[in-house]
């Protein structure tokens, strides 16, 4: 069964600090891995998409890494801001199927950035 597990479930950090969120998956065959940011009460917004051959991808202060061998990904947030407070969701897509129908969603890491 395809699964995506994220850790930690929740995290509190001080403004300006860095943090790293983890995602482990067992989706097969692997196609791509996406990180989404979901503000409370809003729809998720795509941060990064990585395919099998990509190890690192950045989007501003967000840097995602992928180790396809160990089936692990991380999302590193640098110099956190209050606006980074949100849930971060890891989504893994299986190869050979159309976008969306075989996406497996993690339950997310809830990040709170305190002043």
Partner 1 sequence: DSGVTQTPKHLITATGQRVTLRCSPRSGDLSVYWYQQSLDQGLQFLIQYYNGEERAKGNILERFSAQQFPDLHSELNLSSLELGDSALYFCASSAGGGSPLHFGNGTRLTVT
CB of 29 to partner 1, least distance (A): 14
Which residue in 82, 105, 109 sits closest to 22, CA to CA? 109
What is the distance between the alpha carbons of residues 2 and 109, in angstroms, rounded to a whole number?
19
**What distances in angstroms separate CA 96 from CA 8, 37, 86, one per listed residue?**
30, 26, 31
Shortest distance, position 78 Cβ to partner 1, whole Å: 22
Q: Is 32 in the site for partner 1 (CB under 8 A)?
A: yes
Binder to partner 1 among 7, 12, 45, 82 (CB under 8 A)?
45
Residues 51-110 that bind partner 1 (CB under 8 A): 51, 89, 93, 97-103, 105-108
């Amino acid at each position: 069964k395809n699964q995506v597990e994220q850790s930690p479930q929740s995290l509190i950090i001080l403004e300006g600090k860095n943090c790293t969120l983890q995602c482990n998956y067992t989706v097969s065959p692997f196609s791509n891995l996406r990180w989404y940011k979901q503000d409370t009460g809003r729809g998720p917004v795509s941060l990064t998409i990585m395919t099998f051959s990509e190890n690192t991808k950045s989007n501003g202060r967000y840097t995602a890494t992928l180790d396809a061998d160990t089936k692990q990904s991380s999302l590193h947030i640098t110099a956190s801001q209050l606006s980074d407070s949100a849930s971060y969701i890891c989504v893994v897509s299986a190869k050979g199927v159309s976008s969306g129908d075989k996406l497996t969603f993690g339950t997310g890491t809830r990040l709170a950035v305190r002043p």
